[in-house]
Amino acid sequence: MDFLTLPAPNDASKPLSTQVYDAVREAIICLKLKPGQMIYENELAESLGVSRTPIREAIRSLVNEQLLEVLPQRGTLVTYVSERKVLETRFIQAQLELGAFRIAARVWDEHNQKLTKQLILHSIRDQRAAADNNNAALFLQLDETFHRIILGLANNDTLLQVVYHMRGHLNRLRYMLLEEYHHMHRIVDEHVEIFAAIEANNEERTAQLLDDHLGKLNHEFPEIRKVHPQYFLRNIRNSVEWREDK
Amino acid sequence: MDFLTLPAPNDASKPLSTQVYDAVREAIICLKLKPGQMIYENELAESLGVSRTPIREAIRSLVNEQLLEVLPQRGTLVTYVSERKVLETRFIQAQLELGAFRIAARVWDEHNQKLTKQLILHSIRDQRAAADNNNAALFLQLDETFHRIILGLANNDTLLQVVYHMRGHLNRLRYMLLEEYHHMHRIVDEHVEIFAAIEANNEERTAQLLDDHLGKLNHEFPEIRKVHPQYFLRNIRNSVEWREDK
DNA sequence: ACTTACATACTTGTATACAAGCACTTTGTT
DNA sequence: AACAAAGTGCTTGTATACAAGTATGTAAGT
């Protein structure tokens, strides 16, 4: 667990429980904590140099996001990626992002959103750089930022938060995909296309492009599952009982 | 705080933290804990007869749902209802429910869903009874159940969970509305209409009716705000600083 | 050889003790 | 009388101690 560290040894700006939450969440999404792995409160507490109390509070939040599952008196499980969960999460993400991107296309105004445009162009440039360097972790972050900028045009913080949670799940899968297929440049191209449609105030085209963009995950899913079967569940619900490789 | 009680004095079926969560959440939504009210961990712990540990874990979950806000070293605030939060939440609810209800209308099959139909008819009957008795708390529960049955047809548990959280916010508002305007029968009528459209596999009409059904909240909002100004925030974000009545 | 019972070393769940910070009161000064 | 500053009692944040349950290994019995 030596890869788990807090941002600063004695940083009082945020409560320890929040810092632990951020650190563990990042580790789960980057697959440093592997789906199916057991973790233990004492172990985490020792690694991070804090007591069990903030650890438990962080775990509780991650259980709410279904990234962890507590098995009482046995330990805590990093949840498997299940096909069902991915499909469910993808549907929600699509519904919300489609709605928000439509708003973005509707309200986009070249004159009033010069700053936003600069942000987007910068983001796309950074994405290209990350793609050139084949840096999957960084690329995922930038991809998320790009989506957040557009979503921000809908002026709905709650939506940003919900989409953030949904992405928590999907990103583990997307991380595997990026590491395997290195298709980052294709994704950036799609981002460019989508933004062009928004700039043209073309709501229908924006929605169509975004739907394709998000939908690609469904086709890639079965492939990546064969590459990392140990991270996936076969059955319907998330459970410790049945695993792909048993 | 004497209205706060756990389901059973010594029920080991669920962890205390979960029981506390359920009890406090219910109290917030039914406005027994009022928006803007301060609560304290010690006070809750004494009322419920447990230690601060499970209390804190429950509070953490409710903070994640934005029903509570912890002010460090000062206490915990029952969040105000803000216009912004209501609009944001309503948008998400609409996007998700519209998507799911469309699926329901598409997949509905009289032959294969006899059981579901029975559930729905029962639910509508119960709703009428609650409306007759003018029982707002019960009606809200039944309303939620009705929506959940339909949403269940989309076969997406994650969506059920997200909608559940969004409703946590809206229900405080809806509770005020029901107490004030007693328009439960109108709501049941709309439910009947929506279900008829689903039975007819009429996706467009289902979506149209549901959109109207959910949209009514937006019109009622300014009215109810005048009745209970002390529960609402004037400003953009949820914050303890600015209040309607200051 | 196989099963069963039990001791043991873990785990999480809960309670309590201590630390640090905010708010108000009270006291002292001008 | 007005105001500033220290003190007191509250709050949440964190650490630790204890309780209860699970899995495992071992030894005894069949």
Encoded tokens for A69: 């599952």
* Encoded amino acid at B8, one letter: A
- The pLDDT score that the predictor gives to residue A244 is 34
Average pLDDT per run of 10 along chain A, which is 246 residues long?
73 85 94 95 94 96 95 95 92 97 95 92 97 93 96 96 93 92 94 97 97 92 91 60 36
- The pLDDT score that the predictor gives to residue A237 is 43
Long-range contacts of A23-27 (CB under 8 A, 24+ apart): A23/A48, A24/A58, A24/A59, A24/A62, A25/A62, A25/A65, A25/A67, A25/A168, A27/A3
Q: Report how far Cα B120 is from the mean position of its chain's Cα atoms.
A: 19
Helical axes B184-199 vs B83-107, angle rounded to 10° = 30
A208 three-class SS: helix
Encoded tokens for B172: 């405080």
Asked if domains A16-79 and A82-233 share a fold, the reply is no
B77 three-class SS: strand
Average of per-residue pLDDT values in chain B: 90
Encoded tokens for B32: 């027994």
pLDDT, tens only, A109-119: 988 889 999 99
Whole-number CA gyration radius for chain B: 19
What residues does each domain of chain B span?
16-79, 82-233
In A, which residues are within 8 Å of B233 by CB distance? none
pLDDT, tens only, B144-192: 999 999 999 999 999 999 999 999 889 999 999 998 888 999 999 999 9
Closest approach of B66 to chain A, Cα-based (Å): 10
**A89: nearest CA partner in chain B:** B158
Closest approach of A241 to chain B, Cα-based (Å): 19
Alpha helices in chain A (DSSP H): 16-29, 41-48, 52-64, 83-107, 114-132, 136-152, 157-181, 184-199, 203-227
- Stretch B205-225: mean pLDDT: 93
| Fold held by A16-79 | Arc Repressor Mutant, subunit A (1.10.10)
Strands across the sheet containing A75-78: A38-39, A75-78, A68-71
Residue range A82-233 in CATH 1.20.120.530: yes
| Cross-chain CB nearest to A92 (options B85, B89, B158) | B158
What is the phi/psi pair of residue A8, to 5°? -140, 145
Chain B 173-232, residues with CB within 8 Å of chain A CB atoms: none
Q: Do B159 and A96 touch (CB under 8 A)?
A: no
A239 vs B208, more confident: B208
CA-to-C1' distance for B70 and D21, Å?
Answer: 33
